[in-house]
Amino acid sequence: MTRTTATGSLALAVVLLFTLGTLAAVLIRAEALSGFGPADWAALRFSLVQATLSATLSILLAIPLGRAIARRRFPGRGLLIMLLGAPFILPTIVAVFGLISVFGRSGIVSDVLGFVGLEPISIYGFHGVVLAHVFFNLPLATRLVLQGWLAIPAERFRLAASLGFRARDVTRWLERPMLREVLPGTFLVIFLLCLTSFAVALALGGGPKATTIELAIYQAFNLEFDLGKAALLALVQFALGLAVALIAFRVALPTGFGAGLDRSLRRWDAAGPGFVLMDTVIIALATVFLVLPITMIALDGLPRLLSLPASIWWAALRSLGIALTSVVVTLALALPMAALSVKSRLRVVEGIGSLTLAASPLVIGTGLFIILFPLTDPFALAFPVTAMVNSVMSLPFALRALVPALGQIEADYGRLADGLGMSGWARLRLLWLPRLRRPLGFTMGLSAALSMGDLGVIALFAAPDAPTLPLQIYRLMAAYRMPDAAGGALVLLVSSLALFWIFDRGGRAHADT
């Protein structure tokens, strides 16, 4: 067994422990399984419909936006690329507040409609859940699609221009093959995100007509304490994720563009004024849609920033420690799994990493609590457990960023490295790490930001006097201390963006070439 196989198998074992192991603990704890009732079938239908529509809309909007950003150079482009990570890394409940400020009955859009004599709109219900999911996932889809566009060597576009290719020819021969490889995995990740959505459905949905499976699991645990029903719902969710993963992996095809010379990208096929105007409008509309809710959060929180209680700052330090720990654990799991996936060419490795989303943080946290409770005090392990679960939940994004990049490196330079006898630490240091800077920076930034804003497992494990910042904000909101909650939300927003920017900076530098 090689070192790559050994370390990758160990990482796989850890992931399986946190997914199937915790799910098994929930099943063992349950005394009996109850059948699906009408409300459960309604939750299943609602979950599938809203997840499918949310993922489809996110991708359909991300394709023109990613193409526009990839083929244009304009002031603030780097800032826009950084902001594309902002809605996704926002704590969900904070971002929902921002959307309500814009699209709620007392929001900006309703005010404009009232000014012209129309009725205000409501954000609650099916359309509100889909809108929130598109807000959260459009930036992620755009970043993943943008990476695909930037992976096409500039020499291919130069050759296309010399051959007289028009825009539709470039789309047919260069862009569609790239999209066929990138979109299935992107759809899978977003579909699973929407399928396991909890806070959005809790805040904007709810009731018999707008309940997701995740919300039904929470209700089964906390309202009915029916572990059998919760376990059955979790299994259904897990099976759905597995089915979607298999479909996505089967339709993904390699593009085979090969290596380039890292020259600056220039798009002769889209230099006309019509293309420039179209890209400008797309970028402007997407920027307003993504920035406006974040701006509302800043405007609400800024007046309270200098008078926040000390408990918020201590909570922020706890969240920062958990986030940095999660980054280290995420890399320790993702790199060996990506290497094992590429070397063995077993797509099931990436599929197992993606299944952590199907398991859901709520089910994982419940299973861990059941496992730890007879052995030790679970509350004393709140921080390491939260960091580990957050790392496992970040794996699908890490693998989607690392596996294609590492596969391309091995396809381009693997034989040469083998011929030079380069293996182990030398291969990692001299071949992989220098060319993985962009996906590694994206992975570390995303992992840190997601962990910084997590409000899932910590709600089950945290002691009353040691909350993280998201949990402290939630408690302030529950106590109707909205000004302090708004100030804490702004601190959390700035902290999450700062962590993402620091780690992602190297990747963004490569995005300009």
pLDDT for the residue numbered 409: 86
Residues 6+ apart with CB under 8 A from 65: 138, 142, 282, 283, 286
**Which tokens is 429 given?**
């240091």
User: What is the greatest pairwise CA distance in the chain?
Assistant: 74
pLDDT in tens, 34-67: 667 788 888 889 999 999 999 999 999 999 998 8
| Closest residue by Cα to residue 201 from 213, 189, 186 | 213
DSSP state of 268: G
Q: What is the CA radius of gyration of the chain?
A: 23
Q: Give the Cβ contact number of residue 512 at 10 Å.
A: 12
Check if the beta carbon of residue 209 is closer than 8 Å to that of residue 127. Answer: no
Residues 417 and 180: their CA atoms lie apart, in Å, by: 29
pLDDT in tens, 86-124: 666 777 777 877 787 788 887 888 888 888 888 888 888
Better-predicted residue by pLDDT, 506 or 512: 506
Residues 6+ apart with CB under 8 A from 83: 139, 287, 290, 291, 294
pLDDT for the residue numbered 513: 42
DSSP state of 330: H
Check if the beta carbon of residue 153 is closer than 8 Å to that of residue 257. Answer: yes
The amino acid at 337: M
Instruction: Say whether pLDDT at 421 is over 70.
Output: yes
- What band does 512 get if pLDDT is binned at 50, 70 and 90? very low
**Helix, strand or coil, per DSSP, at residue 373:** coil
Residues 358 and 363: their CA atoms lie apart, in Å, by: 10
Residues 6+ apart with CB under 8 A from 414: none
> What values do phi and psi take at 368, rounded to 5?
-65, -40
pLDDT for the residue numbered 31: 55
pLDDT in tens, 382-420: 888 888 888 888 888 888 888 888 888 888 888 888 888
Lowest mean pLDDT among 8-12, 80-84, 320-324, 467-471: 80-84
Instruction: Say whether pLDDT at 32 is over 90.
Output: no
Rounded to the nearest integer, the mean pLDDT of the chain is 80
Check if the beta carbon of residue 347 is closer than 8 Å to that of residue 411. Answer: no
Calculate mean pLDDT across residues 284-288: 90
Percent residues over pLDDT 90 in the chain: 9
- What band does 262 get if pLDDT is binned at 50, 70 and 90? low
pLDDT for the residue numbered 157: 77
Q: How many residues does the chain have?
A: 513
Check if the beta carbon of residue 319 is closer than 8 Å to that of residue 468. Answer: yes
pLDDT in tens, 189-248: 788 788 877 777 777 776 767 888 877 877 776 677 676 777 777 777 777 766 776 676
pLDDT for the residue numbered 246: 67
Q: Which residues of 406-430 are buried (b: 16+ CB within 10 A; e: fewer)?
A: bbbbbeebbeebeeeebeeeebbee
Residues 6+ apart with CB under 8 A from 33: 228, 229, 231, 232
The CA-atom distances, in angstroms, between 424 and each of 20, 201, 401, 403 are: 31, 46, 21, 18
**Helix, strand or coil, per DSSP, at residue 293:** helix
Better-predicted residue by pLDDT, 226 or 139: 139
- What band does 364 get if pLDDT is binned at 50, 70 and 90? confident
The CA-atom distances, in angstroms, between 235 and each of 44, 187, 198, 303, 479 are: 12, 21, 17, 46, 35
